[in-house]
Amino acid sequence: MANKPKIKGAEALLLSLIAEGTDTIFGYPGGQVIPIYDHLYHFTDRINHILTRHEQGAVHAAQGYARATGKVGVCLVTSGPGATNLVTGIADAMLDSTPLVCITGQVPCSLLGTDAFQEADTISMTMPISKWNYQVTQASEIPSAIARAFYIARSGRPGPVVIDISKNAQVEEFDFSYKPCIYLRSYKPHPELDLTLIDQAVQMINAADKPLLLVGQGVKLANAESKLLEFAEAAGVPMASTLMGISAVPNNHPLFVGNLGMHGNLAANEMTQRSDLIIAVGMRFSDRVTGDVKNYAPNAKIIHIDVDAAELNKNIKVDLPIHADAADALEAMKRGISYKDRSKWMAVAAENNKKEYEDVVLPSTDPQGEYISMYDVISTLAEVEKGNAVIVTDVGQNQMFSARYSKFNQTRSFITSGGLGTMGFGLPAAMGAKLGVPDREVVAIMGDGGFQMTMQELGTIMQNHIGLKMIVLNNTYLGMVRQWQQLFFGKRYSFTQLENPDFPSIAAAYGIANRRVERLSDLKAAIQELADAPGAYFLEVDVLPEENVFPMVPAGASLSDTICKE
């Protein structure tokens, strides 16, 4: 047997990433990762490295890529500030169960703990916000660390993994061989399905008059979308979505009743309160979904299916917790289910949709046809894109309008920072999503505040010719905080007004096609132009400065106390 030549840790890292199916890395070079970048130079045929303009952009792009594709997002940054700049994205990925492998450089192991130049204790800093992390200080550890990183990131409830690699490990030579990780004795990501619990669930569902399925992102993460629809159709049970679950169920599905929570639809929230049986799948009863937990779903028994046992009985006491993968549970439940006509129950949805349309939607559009509501922008975009686009949002009013009025025909089409609510997420995440699904239309919807947190990524879009469509809803305010100040803080707009630059000029400076619209009559043509653009396109829409998102469940209030107007 011929002796294989020894290779350096840096090359071993890239070969390990390729072995795990990585084709795209979002990164930013720096002193402690130069050896990795040196090898990357020779791997451009196999790895598409995207140079972002800030490490935060790299991690959000990796998140967008992961959320759009279902694959593990990978980012690569240097030690110290490179690593600290990832922290927001790692925390975001942790709360939103996004599979990431974040590779950070580290000072040589002989200098660990000495306050060396660009040394930061990345392991300690990322420990509580990552699913797992590990520090590599010898080249020989690299293959097994990467193998475990991918296995842990993508299995069970996915999440971010941080691998911190000291510089000496990048340059040491060793005999490389790669073996994927498929088992760790202390880690059981795939729970065994307890069929007695499934039987109990089926009996409860068959007996229920007003059941409601709550669909969370877990359905997407388990690739259980079609199993969910088959189950819901077989049972005749309506479905409502959490913010993170949006697009798992097509909007036009006859059993879909809308979105849950603080800015959800009246129908979904009202049906939660009237339901006699909630079947929650792959969601975690976030406070934004439940409102006041004491008055949540007061008439319902609750079945909660989740792959993460720590979520069961965490926020809401449930009657039947089922620790299971969503796909396994939905498939098993379908077997015993019997169809029940629940048209009377579904009529509650229709009645609330009518009320919401009259109280909230209809008054949104300016009858004079002059001023532009955020509703006009999102609903026009949905009409033009026919529900086929991937919508990536920033955080705030732009996010809630996008969630409320976008339309989706296929899954993994709504990408948003749900748990952490990270402003600045939208642009880089959308960039990553577009690189992940280049054949799909991807539109980033941002506010003027959030856009300015990461707008340097326009440079990444320019350099890599990323055909991303961007819409900035400019109301010259940090709109969501302003809304709270208006409604709950006596209209004291404390530091929420922004004096903005000429956004189209900024896009123009990056060579990106651009336009601004100020009048409703110009909106549709502008959005059509955006959709028709062959490459990147930037649209600023000047919207009503003091528009609010309704309906709204005020923080801490019960879902029954939804408000529809000021």
Partner 1 sequence: MVKEYIVIAFTENQIGVLNRITALYLRRKINIESLKVSESSIKGISMFVISAFTTQEIIEKLVRQLRNIVEVIQVEYYSDDELITQEIALYKISSKIVRESGMVDMIIRSWNARIIEMNPSFVVVEKTGTREEIENLRTELETRKVLLEFTRSGSVVLHRESMENTLNQL
What ranges in 139-284 are assigned the alpha helix state H? 142-154, 167-171, 195-207, 217-221, 225-235, 266-274
Q: Are strands 277-281 and 301-306 parallel, antiparallel or unpaired?
A: parallel
Q: How far is the CB of 185 from partner 1 (least distance, A)?
A: 5
Q: Does 44 bind partner 1 (CB under 8 A)?
A: no
Amino acid identity at 563: I
* Nearest distance in Å: CB 355, partner 1: 38
- Using CB under 8 A as the binding criterion, the count of chain residues that bind partner 1 stands at 19
Tell me the closest approach of the beta carbon of residue 314 to partner 1, in angstroms: 6
Q: From 16-24, 183-191, 278-286, 368-376, give the range in contact with partner 1 by CB under 8 A.
A: 183-191
Residues in region 259-318 near partner 1 by CB under 8 A: 308-310, 312-314
Of 127 and 563, the one with the shorter C-beta distance to partner 1 is 127
What is the distance between the alpha carbons of residues 505 and 554, in angstroms, rounded to a whole number?
Answer: 38
Task: Out of 117, 187, 339, 489, point to the residue binding partner 1 (CB under 8 A).
Answer: 187
β-pairing, 100-106 vs 73-77, is parallel
Task: Among 186, 196, 343, 494, indicate the residue that binds partner 1 (CB under 8 A).
Answer: 186
* CA distances (Å), origin 3, targets 7, 12, 174, 176, 541: 12, 17, 12, 11, 63
Nearer to partner 1, 168 or 475 (CB): 168
Is the CB of 269 or the CB of 290 nearer to partner 1? 290
Smallest separation, CB 312 to partner 1 (Å) = 8
Contacting partner 1 within 150-169 (CB under 8 A): 152
Q: How far is the CB of 135 from partner 1 (least distance, A)?
A: 8
Coil/strand/helix, residue 416: coil
Binding pattern for the stretch 103-142 against partner 1, x by CB under 8 A and - elsewhere? --------------------xx--xx--xxx-x-------
Structure token pair of residue 297: 């779903």
Q: What angle do CA 481, 395, 487 make, to 5 degrees?
A: 25
- Exposed, middle or buried: residue 556 (CB in 10 Å: 0-12, 13-18, 19+)? exposed
Q: CB nearer to partner 1: give 151 or 477.
A: 151
CB of 187 to partner 1, least distance (A): 5
The amino acid at residue 291 is: G
Residue reference for tokens 């690189």: 435
Query: What residues act catalytically?
Result: 55, 117-118, 167, 480
Nearer to partner 1, 123 or 193 (CB): 123
Rank residues 124 and 343 by Cβ distance to partner 1 and give the closer one.
124
* Residue 420 C-alpha from the chain's centroid: 10
List own/partner pairs for 362-367 with CB under 8 A and 24 or more apart. Answer: 363/565, 364/547, 365/520, 366/520, 366/544
CA distance between the termini of the chain: 78
* CB of 312 or CB of 431, closer to partner 1: 312
Residue 31 CA to residue 120 CA, distance in Å, equals 13
- The C-alpha atoms of residue 238 and residue 207 are separated, in whole angstroms, by 15
Q: What is the DSSP letter of 196?
A: H
Footprint of partner 1 on 403-422 (CB under 8 A): none
Q: Which of 4, 179, 185, 344 binds partner 1 (CB under 8 A)?
A: 185
Stretch that binds partner 1, among 46-54, 179-187, 244-252, 398-406 (CB under 8 A): 179-187
Q: Tell the smallest beta-carbon distance from residue 164 to partner 1 (Å).
A: 11
Q: How many CA atoms lie within 13 A of 542 on its CB side?
A: 14
Chain residues in the site for partner 1 (CB under 8 A): 123-124, 127-128, 131-133, 135, 152, 184-187, 308-310, 312-314
